[in-house]
Structure 1
C-alpha cells in the first residue's frame, strides 16, 4: 500500500504534466493558418498594417506610434482588417461631399437680370471682404432686412476669414470673384482654373458650402473661364445696373444712376472692396430706403 507521502507526490506529478500539456495547446492555438505567430499590429494575413516587414517574433514588438507630422504620408495601403477596425476619417470642414452638378447650356450663360414680372432686385457687392467697409454694408443690409450676394476675391477672403464667416452667418449669398481679380481674357487656361478653383476651395472651407455663382472681373468672361466655371458647377452672374461706383463719381451720382436705371428684375452692381468705398456706403444709405418704400423686394439668386 502506498503511503500518504507517495500519493501526494504522484498527484503533484500529474498536475505538472497537465499544465505542460495546456501550455503546448495554448501555443498552437495562437499560431496563424501558416503556422507563424502573428506579430502585434499585423493584419489578417500576418502583414503589419504600416506596410513594413515584420520584426522577428522572438520578442514582442512595441506598438507603432504614428508620426505627428502633417506631411508624413502613409507608406502603403492598410490591410482589410485595419481598414475595417479603424474609425472613418473626419471630413474636413467645407469639403464638398458631392461632385459639382452638371449645368445645361442655358445655365452656363451669364445672367443679366431676373424675372421682370416681379418687383424684385438683386443687390450684388463686389471685391470684398474689406475690414473698413464690409461691416458697415452688413449693418445697413440688416437694418433694412435685405439679403445680398457678395462676390468675394480670394486674396481678400484669406486675409479676413472672420468677415467671410460673418457674411455667411447673416444669411447672404457668397460667390466667387477669382483669386486676384485679373482680366481672365489674358490668362492661360491653367491660370484661369487656378484663379477659380483656389477661391472656391477657400470659400467652401470657410463657410462649409461651395459657391454656386461666379462673376468675371469687369464682366470679361473668356471661353476658358466659361468651361472651368461649368466644371466647378457654378453659374455666371452679370448685372443690368452699373453706377460705376468703383470710379468714385460722388455719392449723389451713384444714387441717381441706380434710382434712374433700376426696374423689376434688375441686378445692381456695387463694391465694398478694392479701394475707398465710402461713397458707395453713403449711396446705399440713400437709395436703399427709397427702393424699399417703392415696394421693391431684394433677393439673392438661388443656387
Structure 2
C-alpha cells in the first residue's frame, strides 16, 4: 500500500472515530436531558399533586364552611312579632307578621305525658309553651323530663308549685290566698326551673286561670308575661278521648286568628296532638313561636 493510501486510510478512521465519539456524546447528552426532563416531570407531577391536594383541602374547607350550621340566633336577639292582648290572644306587632296564627300551650307538666308531647311537637316542627308545676320537679324523673323539653327548644312557663287556686269562693265571698303564699308559689317554681334549665320562666299562668291583683302585679315585676287562654276542652269528660279532643280543638267556633290554645298533660291529648297540629295547619293556621312574643 502506498504512503498516500495509508495516510488516507488513517484519515478516514480518525473521522469515523470522531463521529462515533460525537454520537456517543450526543447520546449521553440526550440521555442526560431525558433524565433531567423526567426529573422535571416528576417534580411537576408532585407539585401538581400537591396543588390538587391543596385545592381539594381548600374545597373541603369551603364545603365545611358552606355546610356548617350557623350558631342559632339567641332568642333575646330576635325582634318580637306579637303581643299578648287583653283577651289573651296574640296580636301582630309588625305589618309583615302573619295574623293567622295560633299559640299552643300545655299545662300541668312534666307529669306522665309532657315529654312525649314535646317529642311529637318537635317531630312536627311545632312550637309550644309548657307550663309546669313545681310539684312535678321534685323527682329526678321530673327534672330530667323538664331538662329534655327545654333542650328541645320549648319555652317553659310557670304554673305555680302546687296548682292551688290563688282565690276561691267561700259562702259566696271571694277569698284570696295570702300574698306571701302566692309569692312563694311563683318564686319557688322560677327557682326550680332556673336550676334545672338555666333559665327562669318568661310566662305565668295561674291555676284555673284565677289571677289576683297581687299575682298580676308580682309577675309583671318579675319581667314575666301573664297568660290565660282562648279555649281548651280536655278537662271536660265528653272530650276525654283522642277523637273528640282532636275534633273540637280544630273545629271549634272559638278558633280564630291569634287564638291561645290550652291543652294538658293528659293521655288523650297526647294521643291527639299530632292530629290537632295537622288539622290546624290544614286550615292554614301557623303555629306561633313563643319566643317572638313581646316581653314586658
Distance 1:192 1:252 in 2: 37
> 1:109/1:214 Cα in 2 relative to 1: closer, same or farther (>3 Å)?
farther
Report the equivalent of 2:242: 251
Report the equivalent of 1:156: 136
Report the equivalent of 1:267: 260
Q: How does 1:137-286 map to 2 (within 5 A)?
A: 137-159=117-139, 160-185=142-167, 186-245=176-235, 247=237, 249-261=240-252, 262-272=255-265, 277-286=266-275
User: Would you say the 8 A contact 2:220–2:226 is kept in 1?
Assistant: no
Structure number with larger C-alpha Rg: 2
Distance 1:188 1:151 in 2: 23
C-alpha displacement of 1:165: 1.0
The TM-score with structure 1 as length reference comes to: 0.59
Report the equivalent of 2:287: 298
Deviations 1:133-160 (A, max 9, x none): 1222122101210111000001112321
Higher relative strand content:
2
User: Would you say the 8 A contact 1:178–1:199 is kept in 2?
Assistant: yes
C-alpha displacement of 1:201: 0.9
Distance 2:283 2:109 in 1: 28
Distance 1:244 1:238 in 2: 15
> 1:115/1:230 Cα in 2 relative to 1: closer, same or farther (>3 Å)?
closer
Q: How does 1:63-74 map to 2 (within 5 A)?
A: none
SS of 2:230's partner is coil
Q: How does 1:63-102 map to 2 (within 5 A)?
A: none
Residue 113 (structure 1) aligned with residue 89 (structure 2): yes
Q: How does 1:122-141 map to 2 (within 5 A)?
A: 122-130=103-111, 132-141=112-121
Higher relative helix content:
2
Distance 2:85 2:279 in 1: 32
Deviations 1:94-120 (A, max 9, x none): xxxxxxxxxxxxx99865101276111
C-alpha displacement of 1:223: 1.4
> 1:156/1:228 Cα in 2 relative to 1: closer, same or farther (>3 Å)?
same
Distance 2:242 2:221 in 1: 39
Report the equivalent of 1:52: none
The TM-score with structure 2 as length reference comes to: 0.60
SS of 2:261's partner is strand
User: Would you say the 8 A contact 2:166–2:177 is kept in 1?
Assistant: yes
Structure 1: gaps (5+ residues): 1-106
